[in-house]
Amino acid sequence: MAEKVTPRDVDYSRWYTDIVLQGKLADYSPVKGAMVIRPNGYAIWELIQSNLDRLFKETGHVNAYFPLLIPESFMQKEAEHVEGFSPECAVVTVGGGKKLEENLYIRPTSETIIWAMYKKWINSYRDLPLLINQWANVMRWEMRTRLFLRTSEFLWQEGHTAHETYEEAEEETRKILNVYQKFAEEYLAIPVIPGRKSEAEKFAGAKHTYSIEAMMQDMKALQAGTSHNLGQNFAKAFDVQFQDKEGKLQYVWATSWGVSTRLIGALIMAHSDDRGLVLPPKMAQRPIVMVPIWRGEDQKQEVLDYADGVLKELKAKYNVIFDDRDQYKPGYKFSEWELQGIPLRLEIGPKDVAKNALVMVRRDTMEKQFVNRDGILQTVETALDTMQKEMLERARNFQQENTFDVDDYDTFKEIVNGKGGFIRAHWCGNPECETKVKNDTKATIRNIPFDQKKEAGKCLICGGASDGRVIFAKAY
RNA sequence: CGGGGCGUAGCGCAGUCCGGUUAGCGCACCUGCCUUGGGAGCAGGGGGUCGGAGGUUCAAAUCCUCUCGCCCCGACCA
């Protein structure tokens, strides 16, 4: 086999790049830090979009679109927000050949322009809640970029909601995090840990931030989605008030939440192997490839006729690739589709025609089965369902096997600097202890899990009192 | 911005030290034949401002000067 993919244990980061390029998911663009998402990669994004969009609508949200350019003065209205985002913004200073009166920021996120509009739209409690989502591109000037994981421009969805009370905003924030968790697990087959971010790691301008954290195959953590309770920070900055039932003016309570094309990076790093991409069936627009095999013209016709029947049957439910290209041999085709992560391969040759059978190969396990031609649609459906379930289970086991409870700093450092993983350790809540860990080891607090058990303990660093464990890990 | 490296065909490279026919190789691509149960073979073919500018020379991918760009490693981040 010609080596198109660097094995993971040789160089994980080269492996990742090879998967993306060889799987034709994306390519480098002429613009530094930006990438082109190719059809294979965009197909994954479309599935992320369509499924999440449905889940958002089921929870009462609607879509809208706000402009790419944001007046500089808007960006500067919320103090923490300015501080957090200014360094990574691209700014338009010239338009129509003239220097602009006011610079325009390319959105790094849309809170400011959206809240400027919400001021116009919200007057009464009857206007609330306002539950808007947008699918958009954003730009954050990055020094070091990686395909899908960190590019200057990326695609995402950002939800921005407005509520009457803190409690309602809080409920929304948590509700969305649940949606993200459900999507990650049921569709991406990636188990995640939902929890609250520490003060140091929260979104610039939020009261607090929740996240779902996933473990990649190299034991590093990847933040797969965030949901922020913005409190009244933006309402105050943009003076968005509503009249409540008693006729009193109150500032609106806000949330925002998002996931990005980064999820594609997560999908790759959670499941793929040294042969290439591995897609969970629900993330494959084309879940099946059929490869007909023959020897000589007489066999060719016989095989193609037989295959055509199978194809027609499967097409009722699935988007099937029928690879009858004559210039490539089967082995070549097998590798090519494996590289692109097609979940199921069906091989049809003279022997199968004779036996009224087919050969079915699962991409995740590479397990080869001889299956009966009759009932093929059902067989395929079952195989894809099983695959989807088993991929999640496998990832969950992996995550559990690489999560450790640690009570002393030496062991902590040993693990972090060694094979890595999630470390559940006690923390007193002091940001200084958190910073020390980060400076010593580069590991950070990923989040404080919702399912944290009450457990008396001592902070890993200062020995101060702690009543539960938080998740530490090196992160992408 | 600091440290390291690289620009020669779509991709990966050789040639540069020591200047000299028409700039070469592998992969990919095109045509034909032949093949097809794990990345076949043969024959033919297309494709180059040697990153750019200037200079030295009878002669520059090769030597000199300047310049542009990119990649990797460190300080920010979904």
Q: How far is CA A453 from CA A2, A206, A448, in A?
A: 50, 26, 11
Rounded-to-integer distance, Cα A290 and Cα A282, Å: 18
Closest CA to A342 of A255, A421, A274, A277: A277
Name which residue leads in pLDDT, A219 or A80. Answer: A219
pLDDT of residue A3: 63
Question: Within 7 Å: CB of A348 and strand B?
Answer: yes
pLDDT digits (tens, 9 = 90+) for A253-275: 999 999 999 999 999 999 999 99
Superfamily classification of domain A286-385: Anticodon-binding domain (3.40.50.800)
Question: Within 7 Å: CB of A352 and strand B?
Answer: yes
SS (H, E, C) chain A: CCCCCCCCCCCHHHHHHHHHHHCCCEEECCCCCCEEECHHHHHHHHHHHHHHHHHHHHCCCEECCCCCEEEHHHHCCCHHHHHHHHHHCCEEEEECCEEEEEEEEECCCCHHHHHHHHHHHCCEHHHCCEEEEEEEEEECCCCCCECCCECCEEEEEEEEEEECCHHHHHHHHHHHHHHHHHHHHHCCCCCEEEEECCHHHCCCCCCEEEEEEEECCCCCEEEEEEEEEEECHHHHHCCCEEECCCCCEEECEEEEEEEECHHHHHHHHHHCECCECCCCHHHCCCCEEEEECCCHHHHHHHHHHHHHHHHHHHHCCCCEEECCCCCCCHHHHHHHHHHCCCCEEEEECHHHHHHCEEEEEECCCCCEEEEECCCHHHHHHHHHHHHHHHHHHHHHHHHHHCEEECCCHHHHHHHHHCCCCEEEEECCCCHHHHHHHHHHHCCEEEEEECCCCCCCEECCCCCCEECCEEEEECEC
Q: Is the pTM of this model over 0.80?
A: yes
pLDDT of residue A316: 97
Q: Judge whether residue A30 has pLDDT over 80.
A: no
Contact positions of strand B to protein Cβ (< 7 A): 1, 34-40, 69-71, 73-78
Cα A125 off chain centre by: 35
What are the extents of the domains in chain A? 2-271, 286-385, 403-473
Farthest CA pair distance, chain A: 85
> How many Cα atoms occupy the beta-carbon half-sphere of A35 within 13 Å?
25
Closest CA to A337 of A354, A320, A315: A320
Work out whether the CA dihedral A173, A130, A225, A319 comes out positive or negative: positive
Place of tokens 């060889």: A22
Among protein residues, the one whose C-alpha sits closest to the C1' atom of B73 is A144
Distance A31 CA to B63 C1' (A): 35
pLDDT digits (tens, 9 = 90+) for A415-455: 998 889 999 999 999 999 999 999 888 899 999 999 999 99
Q: Judge whether residue A1 has pLDDT over 70.
A: no
Q: Judge whether residue A2 has pLDDT over 60.
A: no
| Residue A228, amino acid | H
A159 within 8 A of A136, measured Cβ to Cβ = no
Strand order in the sheet with A91-95: A69-71, A98-106, A91-95
What percent of chain A clears pLDDT 90, i.e. is strictly above it? 82
Question: Within 7 Å: CB of A181 and strand B?
Answer: no
Rounded-to-integer distance, Cα A391 and Cα A360, Å: 18
The first and second tokens of residue A36, run together, are 């082109």
Rounded-to-integer distance, Cα A337 and Cα A321, Å: 10
Distance A121 CA to B68 C1' (A): 51
Sequence length of chain A is 476
What would the mean pLDDT of A51-77 be, rounded to a whole number?
Answer: 96
Question: Within 7 Å: CB of A355 and strand B?
Answer: no
pLDDT digits (tens, 9 = 90+) for A281-328: 999 999 999 999 999 888 999 999 999 999 999 999 999 999 999 999
Judged by average pLDDT, the poorest of A28-37, A105-114, A262-271 is A28-37
Closest nucleotide C1' to the C-alpha of A108: B78
Closest CA to A233 of A79, A21, A391: A79
The first and second tokens of residue A140, run together, are 């954050």
Rounded-to-integer distance, Cα A177 and Cα A257, Å: 8
Closest nucleotide C1' to the C-alpha of A224: B78
The first and second tokens of residue A62, run together, are 């609607």
> How many Cα atoms occupy the beta-carbon half-sphere of A404 within 13 Å?
17
Q: How far is CA A97 from CA A67, A85, A92, A105, A289, in A?
A: 21, 27, 12, 17, 52
Q: Work out whether strand A465-466 and strand A288-292 pair parallel, antiparallel, or are unpaired.
A: unpaired
Closest nucleotide C1' to the C-alpha of A358: B37
Question: Within 7 Å: CB of A350 and strand B?
Answer: yes
Closest nucleotide C1' to the C-alpha of A140: B77
Residues of A (275-304) placing their beta carbon closer than 7 angstroms to any atom of strand B are 275, 293-296, 300
Among protein residues, the one whose C-alpha sits closest to the C1' atom of B27 is A2
Question: Within 7 Å: CB of A203 and strand B?
Answer: yes
Distance A31 CA to B59 C1' (A): 40
Q: Classify A355 in phi/psi space as left (phi over 0), alpha (psi -120 to 50) or beta.
A: alpha
Distance A201 CA to B2 C1' (A): 28
Q: Judge whether residue A84 has pLDDT over 90.
A: no
> How many Cα atoms occupy the beta-carbon half-sphere of A443 within 13 Å?
26
Distance A316 CA to B18 C1' (A): 71
pLDDT of residue A111: 95
The domain made up of A403-473 is a member of CATH 2.40.30.210 = no
pLDDT of residue A313: 97
Question: Within 7 Å: CB of A255 and strand B?
Answer: no
pLDDT of residue A4: 79
Closest nucleotide C1' to the C-alpha of A328: B36
Distance A30 CA to B48 C1' (A): 21
What are the phi and psi torsion angles at A48 (to 5°)?
-60, -45
The domain made up of A2-271 is a member of CATH 3.30.930.10 = yes
Mean pLDDT (chain A, rounded): 94
Q: How far is CA A200 from CA A167, A433, A464, in A?
A: 23, 11, 19
